[in-house]
Structure 1
Amino acid sequence: MVVPQPQPSARPSSPATEGAAPGATPGGHSRRAVLRGAVVAGAFLVTSGALDRAGVPAHAEVEYDVVVIGAGASGMTAALTAAKRGLRTVVIEKAPTFGGSAARSGAGIWVPCNEVILAAGVPDTPAKAAAYLARVVGDVVPAQRQAAYLANGPAMISFVMRNSPLRFRWMEGYSDYYPEFPGGMPDGRSIEPDQLDGNILGAELAHLNPSYIPTPDGLVVFSADYKWLTLSAVNPKGLAVSAACVQRGVEAALRGEKPLTMGQALAGGLRAGLLSADVPVWLNTPFSDLRVEGGRVTGVVVTRNGQQTLVRARRGVIVGSGGFEHSETMRREFQRQPIGTGWTVGAKENTGDGIQAGERAGAALDLMDDAWWGPAIPLPDQPYFCLAERTLPGCILVNGGGRRFVNEGAPYSDVVHVMYERDSATSPHIPAWLITDQQYRNRYLFKDVAPLLPLPEEWYQSGAAFRAATLDELARKIGVPAQALRATVLRFNGFALTGRDLDFHRGDSVYDRYYADPYVKPNPCLAALWLPPFYAFKIVPGDLGTKGGMRTDARARVLRADGTVIPGLYAAGNASGAVMGHSYAGAGSTLGPAMTFGYVAANDIAASPGA
């Protein structure tokens, strides 16, 4: 049950003061107010140390009940929950924007048995969900933690909808990633945010982290639309969906709205909830370390407006600072080669700060070798994470020997796992190559390039894409054996004719067919490559973020290697080891657990008077 938020006599800082000028204190108050020892941000300001030349304290302390590190989906969900449980809460964010990787994403959320899918008639049950998750994850993650996720996920979705402007839509037909497993759902369990008017954020809208791939102006596009937009040149439903995207945009413009969807809507809706709950979000505030006293985490050290500040946490600290995908040092230490920071689409501020601070405080780490992998094309501006492109009929993935090595339509994480497992000096799989022909280019949207239109010249110049009149010439350009590539394409073309992929079973799973072309027969995932010119796209191990971090229990409490709890310290999202283990249950397996364990952490703090 959610406890109504009390009305304290000294409220947290007004959101209007969160972007205060550089001379302001953490609560947005003037220097003179600091020197008078005023009450700031609903917490007592305690000054210590010498004054600087301007008369400002060299160090400062503020106190809240709960301090949340990171203004992504896990952090903002945690902060909203804590505030609604009556706890004075602040969110610390080092970026100049809020939303993190969530704001950049398609914002699918995988939470079984939530009220949105049940209202839509999805025949989900707790027993089905438990059987499916157990089969996907195995024994890599303790059963108690899996159970905590499934038990609290639906309540989290309901809580968010009742305490923010967010509403959600079922992504009908977006299959679980292993629908043939016991408890798997062929029509899927994933949801995504409904359309949100950005005007509700006021001036805060300017601080929303931009999308990974911005929606074209004048369109309102949901994540579930992309399947059909890709097919708009060959499928009547694709045209209808395209028209609906335009119509939504026109209607929003006539209403004077600033429409947000996908990750923009999710992050914007959570931020709007925090605004209503008077929870300050301190942007441009780097976190440097945890404060540990007597074995207990009692606060965090940050730099606020150029001033080192100790933010004390009377009840607990929740770390939702994201993964370490943009830390070259950590990736080289924990992950397999080749690896680097140039292939990830995670928020650039995700450099593992929270994970490293937790380790210094005694936290054990889990799953540090893994990530939310996916095949990516290293385009010159940024990596492009491939979804539909490798599943549509008329393309194959080959290794450095010119041979297929995987079901191209398999879950994206699985494809990269295979790339790493099989990569060697004698059998290179990194990079791999996505091979297509002109028929494929004539039919389907590729990234944001419409059918029939030429690919950007800079793709060729950067070595991310190649084009040739023959397969032999293409093989020479990408450095694979021509005879092997010709034989691979010939064999695949035979599979396309019969509709059966005898080597890797592409198209056998319902999931494989989600991004396929229903007009291609007999298998919507398979079509022959025969029409020159032929194309090759470099494929590297991209990711949505890393999935390793602090070890946590079913209550989101951070654990030491011996299994004991570090008092006062909680973690959620990619700062913690993923509840999905080394696998991926369905679209939104990152955001669903991140939000759920942020919710769990805040509720545990609220329910534990001595926390």
Structure 2
Amino acid sequence: MMESFDLIVVGSGAAGAMAALRGADLGLSVLIVEKAHQFGGTSATSGGVMWVPGHGLDGDQGDSAAEALRYLRSVIGVSVDAERLAAYVDRAPEMLRFLKDSGVPVMAAAWPDYFPDAPGARADRSIICPTFDGRQLGDDRYPLMRAQYSRFTLFRRYAMDLSQTFALMMQQRGWRWTAAKMIARYWLDIGTRRLSARDRRFTQGAGLMGALYKQVFARGVELRLETALEGLTLAADGRVSGITVRRFGQVQQIAAHHGVVLAAGGFEWNQALRERFYPVPGLARHSSTPEEGNRGEALIAAEAIGASLAHTDQGWWIPTMTLPAPGAANFHEIHQAAFDVGRPWSVCVNRLGLRFVNEATGYDRFGQAMVADQVKTGANMPCWLIFDAKFRAKFSAGGLMPTVHTPDHRIPGHWWDHYVFRAGSIEELARKIGIAPQALSETVQVMNGYAQTGVDPEFGRGGNIYDRFFGDPGVTPNPNLGPIDTAPFYAVPIDNGDLGTKGGLRCDAQARVLDGGGRPIPHLYAAGNCAASPFGDCYPGAGATIGPALTFGFVAAEDIAARAHEQQRMTA
């Protein structure tokens, strides 16, 4: 007999986990299928932040649905589904209350919205989870949660929470003591070291997903790894009745009595889909999401039964850079450079030696500027991050750690003038990276003038609270501007990477997948990057990927459960 569940969830990231948790909480039998060998999805590798306007965690914060919508309408640049956008603003606080009541600890963070000068912007809408003890999942499951990237760890081993990350990143007072405590705590945990080399402290995205999955497993949800979606099955009446999966070469059909939620991520690792949808496709290998993870299988399966798409020309952009993977020949590692590009003593230029963006802006807007400049000049993607010895001493440049961690003599010889460029003068550096020396020299001289006055009249770098949040408060008069005047000078190429795709299956306010005529496909739902973002082309604030993923996973489960309970009532 065919195996069956009330609800099947495809994908084990934040959207899928929430759909499973809420569905099980409402009495449904739930199965999660995940094609990878580990669970947690891209969410487990992320910063784990949730953007939830009007959350009310610390009492009345003065935020409201009207203010959030005013902000969103002022920053979204394309047409979006107004009902779906309003549903997000209305339901996100409800989702967060459920998450908290379920046993997942949450707290508000002082994180400015990404358009801080827009009407309705605030600095308290981003929500984080504290560190989670991974062994609470059980010693069999603890190693199976997808691990954080090395960029979220100290020395590729020790887990860092957000406060530790910023303390070490900015070399704040006491940062060496912070690092020492992290290292000591890890090695004194002898019991865990006997089990695994992995740090038991799950931080950032892993902290969120660890706490979430503790509750998912407590409710008896079944999770199957190495189980890839092959297609959706339809009943004679046109409703989605289940899925076809492949596990170790064996194909199986599983029935879903009341619904299927597609939560399997976007399509950033599918180069053919990038070529189909993006005006400037970029390369899949520049993505900062798990390699070969999100290839759009759910989108393809839904499109095959008539689903429509929206906003597929948009990505959750972030600047990245590439370095060889330590200890592994012929492999490379992608490093995020989200905040590095806006630090003082640096400038970003295209291959004409010209600036094209406020380097300290939100990372998604930085990526959008790269795309626009590439369309305009053909001289971007990659662009170049140029910096001097002062920057090199204090800040990272993507995967290039500051000199306190990685002095120049420790950089492998074959990296120089291939991955990292160094010269005694700006003109010599320009020649090495193929930029006209006069053009780059003039740009640097202009930036040095801006550093003296503290004002960037071209792009306004350091002119708002978001820029300054990631600047260096010890640099005056502008924490994001400092003279690029101390040899040696350095350059690294910056690619337009991503945190996933913004576009996907077109859904309504109930998270139901819509066909080409705008009608819901019965029993089919989508959430997370598998679905088109409610924000269209916009990244409104930290956590704007995970916030909607959790919310519409929650909404989908509620709609499915309500329909299931009504059906049971009518047949009783």
- Alpha-carbon distance, 1:215 to partner: 1.9
Stretch of structure 1 that moved more, 589-598 or 410-419: 410-419
SS at match of 1:526: coil
SS at match of 2:498: strand
Give the whole-Å Cα distance in 2 for the aligned partners of 1:208 and 1:458: 36
> Counterpart in 2 of 1:24?
none
- Alpha-carbon distance, 1:457 to partner: 2.4
Stretch of structure 1 that moved more, 450-459 or 491-500: 450-459
- Alpha-carbon distance, 1:350 to partner: 0.8
> Counterpart in 1 of 2:125?
189
- Alpha-carbon distance, 1:541 to partner: 0.7
Checking the alignment, whether the CA contact within 8 Å between 2:320 and 2:338 is kept in structure 1 is: no
Match for residue 569 of structure 1 among 506, 513, 524: 524
> Counterpart in 2 of 1:360?
304
Cα gap change, 1:342 to 1:517, in 2 (>3 Å): same
Checking the alignment, whether the CA contact within 8 Å between 1:79 and 1:91 is kept in structure 2 is: yes
- Alpha-carbon distance, 1:244 to partner: 7.0
Aligned residue runs from structure 1 range 134-145, under 5 A: 134-138=73-77, 140-145=79-84
Match for residue 87 of structure 2 among 148, 151, 157: 148
Give the whole-Å Cα distance in 2 for the aligned partners of 1:112 and 1:243: 37
> Counterpart in 1 of 2:570?
none
Checking the alignment, whether the CA contact within 8 Å between 2:287 and 2:497 is kept in structure 1 is: yes
Checking the alignment, whether the CA contact within 8 Å between 1:548 and 1:578 is kept in structure 2 is: yes
- Alpha-carbon distance, 1:580 to partner: 1.7
Letter in 1 for 2:95: M
Residues 285-333 of structure 1, C-alpha deviations (whole Å, 9 max, x = no match): 1110000122211110012454321111110000001001111211121
Checking the alignment, whether the CA contact within 8 Å between 1:115 and 1:158 is kept in structure 2 is: no
Rg larger in structure: 1
Give the whole-Å Cα distance in 2 for the aligned partners of 1:581 and 1:425: 22
Letter in 1 for 2:279: R
> Counterpart in 2 of 1:103?
44
Residues 139-185 of structure 1, C-alpha deviations (whole Å, 9 max, x = no match): 52212111111111111122122224x2123222x211011111111
Give the whole-Å Cα distance in 2 for the aligned partners of 1:353 and 1:462: 39
Letter in 1 for 2:314: D
> Counterpart in 1 of 2:201?
259
Checking the alignment, whether the CA contact within 8 Å between 2:55 and 2:93 is kept in structure 1 is: yes
Match for residue 454 of structure 1 among 407, 427, 439: 407
Residues 16-46 of structure 1, C-alpha deviations (whole Å, 9 max, x = no match): xxxxxxxxxxxxxxxxxxxxxxxxxxxxxx0
> Counterpart in 2 of 1:504?
459
Checking the alignment, whether the CA contact within 8 Å between 2:320 and 2:336 is kept in structure 1 is: yes
- Alpha-carbon distance, 1:389 to partner: 0.8
Aligned residue runs from structure 1 range 248-397, under 5 A: 258-293=200-235, 294-304=237-247, 306-347=249-290, 348-380=292-324, 381-397=332-348
Q: Is residue 417 of structure 1 aligned with residue 368 of structure 2? A: yes
Checking the alignment, whether the CA contact within 8 Å between 2:115 and 2:121 is kept in structure 1 is: yes
SS at match of 2:234: strand
Cα gap change, 1:522 to 1:130, in 2 (>3 Å): same
Checking the alignment, whether the CA contact within 8 Å between 2:5 and 2:30 is kept in structure 1 is: yes
SS at match of 1:274: helix
Letter in 2 for 1:451: T
Gaps of 5+ in 1: 1-45, 47-60
SS at match of 1:75: helix
Checking the alignment, whether the CA contact within 8 Å between 1:373 and 1:544 is kept in structure 2 is: yes
Give the whole-Å Cα distance in 2 for the aligned partners of 1:254 and 1:511: 42
Give the whole-Å Cα distance in 1 for the aligned partners of 2:556 and 2:296: 20
SS at match of 1:79: helix
Cα gap change, 1:243 to 1:468, in 2 (>3 Å): same
Give the whole-Å Cα distance in 2 for the aligned partners of 1:277 and 1:563: 35
Give the whole-Å Cα distance in 1 for the aligned partners of 2:129 and 2:208: 6
- Alpha-carbon distance, 1:595 to partner: 0.8
Give the whole-Å Cα distance in 2 for the aligned partners of 1:254 and 1:212: 23
Q: Is residue 207 of structure 1 aligned with residue 174 of structure 2? A: no
Matched residue count: 545
Cα gap change, 1:200 to 1:448, in 2 (>3 Å): farther
Letter in 2 for 1:299: G
Letter in 1 for 2:30: T
Q: Is residue 171 of structure 1 aligned with residue 124 of structure 2? A: no
Give the whole-Å Cα distance in 2 for the aligned partners of 1:516 and 1:378: 23
SS at match of 2:70: helix
Across the aligned residues of Structure 1 and Structure 2, the Cα RMSD in angstroms comes to 2.3
- Alpha-carbon distance, 1:353 to partner: 0.3
- Alpha-carbon distance, 1:366 to partner: 0.8
Residues 323-346 of structure 1, C-alpha deviations (whole Å, 9 max, x = no match): 011112111211133512110011
Residues 512-568 of structure 1, C-alpha deviations (whole Å, 9 max, x = no match): 111100010000110000011110110111001111110000000000121111001
> Counterpart in 1 of 2:440?
485
SS at match of 2:499: strand
- Alpha-carbon distance, 1:80 to partner: 0.5
Letter in 1 for 2:401: V
Stretch of structure 1 that moved more, 273-282 or 372-381: 372-381
SS at match of 1:301: strand
> Counterpart in 2 of 1:580?
535
> Counterpart in 2 of 1:57?
none
- Alpha-carbon distance, 1:216 to partner: 3.0
Give the whole-Å Cα distance in 1 for the aligned partners of 2:432 and 2:400: 25
Letter in 1 for 2:390: Q
Cα gap change, 1:247 to 1:171, in 2 (>3 Å): farther
> Counterpart in 2 of 1:34?
none
Q: Is residue 429 of structure 1 aligned with residue 380 of structure 2? A: yes
Q: Is residue 524 of structure 1 aligned with residue 482 of structure 2? A: no
Checking the alignment, whether the CA contact within 8 Å between 2:170 and 2:394 is kept in structure 1 is: yes
Checking the alignment, whether the CA contact within 8 Å between 2:417 and 2:432 is kept in structure 1 is: no
Give the whole-Å Cα distance in 2 for the aligned partners of 1:255 and 1:281: 24
Checking the alignment, whether the CA contact within 8 Å between 1:463 and 1:538 is kept in structure 2 is: no
Letter in 2 for 1:69: V
Letter in 1 for 2:356: F
SS at match of 2:353: coil
Checking the alignment, whether the CA contact within 8 Å between 1:435 and 1:537 is kept in structure 2 is: yes
* Identity among equivalent pairs (%): 36
Give the whole-Å Cα distance in 2 for the aligned partners of 1:535 and 1:556: 48
Give the whole-Å Cα distance in 1 for the aligned partners of 2:84 and 2:64: 18
> Counterpart in 2 of 1:52?
none
Checking the alignment, whether the CA contact within 8 Å between 1:74 and 1:320 is kept in structure 2 is: yes
Cα gap change, 1:244 to 1:391, in 2 (>3 Å): farther
Checking the alignment, whether the CA contact within 8 Å between 1:396 and 1:434 is kept in structure 2 is: yes
> Counterpart in 2 of 1:29?
none
Residues 189-238 of structure 1, C-alpha deviations (whole Å, 9 max, x = no match): 11211111111111111211111225237855222443332111xx4275
Cα gap change, 1:493 to 1:531, in 2 (>3 Å): same
> Counterpart in 2 of 1:476?
431
Gaps of 5+ in 2: 194-198, 325-331, 568-572
Residues 88-132 of structure 1, C-alpha deviations (whole Å, 9 max, x = no match): 11001111110111111111111112243x34x744222222211
Checking the alignment, whether the CA contact within 8 Å between 1:372 and 1:545 is kept in structure 2 is: yes
TM-score, normalization by structure 1? 0.85
Give the whole-Å Cα distance in 2 for the aligned partners of 1:482 and 1:75: 51
